[in-house]
Structure 1
Amino acid sequence: MNKGLAGRSVYAFGDSIVYGHVYPRSFADLVAEQESMPLTKFARNGATIGADPHASGGQILAQIQEATDTAPDFVLFDGGTNDAQSIFRDRAYDVGSYAEELEKTLHTMKRKWPTAHLVYVTAHKLGSRDWDTQMALRKVTLQACRHWDVAIADVFGETTFDTRDDSQRATYTFDDLVDGFPGTEGSGTHPNMAGITTFYVPVVSAGLKQIALR
């Protein structure tokens, strides 16, 4: 029987796209509210999958380790956005090291919450990151998720959200708040409310509903 999503708990881990950047609400909040799911958000701005000593948000693995042992029904998480900078710009580690840390992260979640449904949310196509690095990270991330039976809410692959297109960058991303809310004309990384509601929420919500139907 389909239990639906209402009342089913969700934890959210990751970087500023999950946290909200300088605004404390992200796609995770909107999906949880839309589906009446209690949300606990552990994401931190600047977080990485790989171990970069200079990453302002630390490792996503640390968020998971610090979270309660009580299993949620669902886990939403992302990664790779800041790793792309750590790898390409800072040379802090390479794609192979990222893949090893991702395996450790997925294993930790599976061991800690064996009954939870894990859902990896891909970031949109980023004009603010090196494209070849994005593609390399995407390849190893999708491989690992499939290996660990982690569902994929594929904003990158299933939507047209692409901030290499300057008009999309300007319309759908923000860096700063305007009158307390996300503005426009961002760098291409952080989706504003239009970016979230147009691209992220439909994909993530559909992914959760598909799992609930099983």
Structure 2
Amino acid sequence: MDSGLAGKSVYAFGDSIVYGHVYPRSFADIVAEQESMTLTKFARNGATIGTDPHASGGQIRAQVEDAPDVAPDFVIFDGGTNDAQSIYRDRAYDVGTYVEALERTLKTMKRKWPTAHTVYVAAHKLGSRNWDTQIALREVTLQACSQWDVAIADVFGEAAFDTRDDAHRAKYTFDDLVDGLPGTEGSGTHPNVAGMTAFYVPVVAAGLQQISSR
């Protein structure tokens, strides 16, 4: 069945979950191939929404600013995963500062590509991050996305993927490659191929298909 996505273009921004960590492919690559879309990926490992001088990947808004002016059909992005560390562990900034940076990021996307459909991918429940900080960031992110007419591909809310469960952490996340492919027994942050295909791909693909059918 034609999903309406074949031939569409998508720009992908965010952190290692969108990039792929130490593997060059992520759920974004799998979705694009499955739906015959043209993907251009700008995500960087360690990227944050807020400004953290110690974050290795810089700010996601800088990825957006550096991307081509030619509008894609879709923009997908994540964020907040590394911000949770910056806020809780490093005390680099607070949730209010994160919100201000998120709104600047969304404004930049909307100004640069007013015709693109923008989709925020809410990452899975992370055993590797402080839970209360995750919930606080989730609440303000969903609110901002609603205000800026950004759709949600809600892996956090719609998928069972929860690496507070040690079985999920071990089976579906990786830190290192084994024979060139993502392994298992990860820290709970980076989905391996099984985690991507079981949880991320169905939610993100369904979200894009729903938008395309409107």
So what's the TM-score if we normalise by structure 1?
A: 0.99
Aligned to 1:113: 113
Q: How far off its partner does 1:211 sit?
A: 0.3
Is the Cα–Cα contact under 8 Å of residues 3 and 209 in structure 2 kept in the other structure? no
Distance 2:211 2:139 in 1: 23
The residue identity in structure 2 corresponding to 1:79 is G
Structure 1's consecutive aligned runs of 4 or more residues displaced over 2 angstroms after TM superposition are none
Q: How far off its partner does 1:3 sit?
A: 7.9
The residue identity in structure 2 corresponding to 1:36 is S
SS in 2 for 1:120: strand
Distance 2:147 2:206 in 1: 22
Distance 1:17 1:3 in 2: 25
Q: How far off its partner does 1:82 sit?
A: 0.1
Is the Cα–Cα contact under 8 Å of residues 3 and 35 in structure 2 kept in the other structure? no
Aligned to 1:58: 58
Aligned to 1:6: 6
Aligned to 1:205: 205
Q: Let me know the Cα RMSD of the aligned residues.
A: 0.8
1:88-167, aligned counterparts within 5 Å?
88-167=88-167
SS in 1 for 2:28: helix
Deviations 1:152-186 (A, max 9, x none): 00000001100000000000000000000000000
Distance 1:188 1:53 in 2: 24
Q: How far off its partner does 1:44 sit?
A: 0.1
1:173-192, aligned counterparts within 5 Å?
173-192=173-192
SS in 2 for 1:119: strand
Q: How far off its partner does 1:29 sit?
A: 0.2
Q: How far off its partner does 1:107 sit?
A: 0.4
Distance 1:186 1:121 in 2: 21
Aligned to 1:48: 48
Report percent identity of matched pairs. 82
Structure 1: which 5+ runs fail to align?
none
Task: Please say if 1:26 is aligned against 2:35.
Answer: no
Distance 1:192 1:3 in 2: 26
Distance 1:3 1:117 in 2: 16
Distance 2:91 2:132 in 1: 15
Deviations 1:126-155 (A, max 9, x none): 000000000000000000000000000000
Structure 2: which 5+ runs fail to align?
none
Deviations 1:168-213 (A, max 9, x none): 0000000000000000000000000000000000000000000011
The residue identity in structure 2 corresponding to 1:211 is I
SS in 1 for 2:149: coil
